Homo-oligomer: A and B are copies of this chain.
């Protein structure tokens, strides 16, 4: 019962990796907004499998059909229903895996929770589910752009290779020019090499995505529980394979003293540093919102592992199927999508004042 997200701009998502498709209903979309359908497709393409040699070689058209809520290209304020059909399921790839639970995957917990599961390709627990998020996020992103909000995610770590440069939106094109989506071509090459090496071993590797949001108005966030960064954290942690979220100084700030960490104000309300990551007391302060998301290595690997069968007795399993050796390049548009959904929802909540 947890497939509805948002308070006002609200996505109700559905779909499994090897069923008819992935889709959803977006309620609370502002009315009278002219949608850029190509831009939506562009975001789906950024998430799509088969884009490059370092991601899964599954091919999916990932074209979205809209069913409602749009009249002559404009949103009508009524719910937008949509579907992205699955076209390239190879269910037979999963046959050998049905009888055993894949380690660190959701097979076991879904089976225990629901007493039943769609075993084809992970079913609902597959990252294919994020297609619906990308559609909703692409719409949110467009709406936000009209008020000057810009959302850029990028890879800043793969394994232990980390890019620690200074982000600026000038680097957005560099990021798109390499298959890893890191804002530096040299680091990109190193990361790509690492991913290729890991894949050759039939193995996988983790990575981090950083996201910077500029242009957010001051005042978004609803303390004390629905703090802006708390909801961003939930949104990111709800993405497959995410194990950590930090905002601003994060775990590094722990080692700082208050006198170093405090962001001194300058006239007008900007701050000299941004250890706060653009949010103070759960409310945006107008500085760039800046957070990082940790993705674990993909669970499906091509080497033999110790596991259990459906009787919970020990067996072994060797992964098959076409999987990403590292998820972060394709996670970039997903992080942006969830960020857009959160920021727009809080923007609309903030308008619900007298």
| A299 beta carbon closer than 8 Å to chain B | yes
| A92 beta carbon closer than 8 Å to chain B | no
User: How many Å from the CB of A224 to the closest CB on chain B?
Assistant: 5
User: How many Å from the CB of A265 to the closest CB on chain B?
Assistant: 4
B256 and A297 within 8 A (CB): yes
B206 and A282 within 8 A (CB): no
Size of A's binding interface in residues, CB under 8 A:
152
Contact flag A296-B253 (CB < 8 Å), given A24-B25, A110-B281, A116-B74: yes
| A259 beta carbon closer than 8 Å to chain B | yes
B284 and A109 within 8 A (CB): yes
Interchain CB contact (< 8 A) of A204 among B69, B160, B258: B258
Interchain CB contact (< 8 A) of A229 among B203, B237, B268: B237
Across-interface contacts of A58 in B (CB, < 8 A): none
User: How many Å from the CB of A328 to the closest CB on chain B?
Assistant: 9
User: How many Å from the CB of A25 to the closest CB on chain B?
Assistant: 4
Q: How many copies of this chain sit in the oligomeric assembly?
A: 4
Across-interface contacts of A110 in B (CB, < 8 A): 281, 283
A258 and B301 within 8 A (CB): yes
Complexed CA–CA distance, A65 and B19 (Å)? 12
B350 and A354 within 8 A (CB): no
Across-interface contacts of A69 in B (CB, < 8 A): 14, 16
A261 and B4 within 8 A (CB): no
A246 and B248 within 8 A (CB): no
Interchain CB contact (< 8 A) of A312 among B219, B254, B267: B267
A residues 15-31 with Cβ under 8 Å of B?
15-16, 19-25, 27-28, 30-31
A3 and B352 within 8 A (CB): no
B249 and A296 within 8 A (CB): yes
Q: Report the nearest B residue to A317, measured CB to CB.
A: B265
Contact flag A113-B218 (CB < 8 Å), given A104-B261, A352-B348: yes
| A303 beta carbon closer than 8 Å to chain B | yes
Q: Report the nearest B residue to A283, measured CB to CB.
A: B109
Interchain CB contact (< 8 A) of A354 among B143, B248, B260, B269: B143
Question: 19 pairs across A/B with beta carbons < 8 Å?
Answer: A1-B226, A4-B12, A8-B352, A20-B68, A23-B67, A24-B25, A30-B354, A74-B116, A78-B123, A78-B124, A113-B218, A205-B258, A225-B238, A227-B238, A243-B254, A244-B250, A250-B294, A258-B300, A266-B314
The 3 closest A-B pairs by CB, nearest first: A106-B281, A2-B222, A2-B226
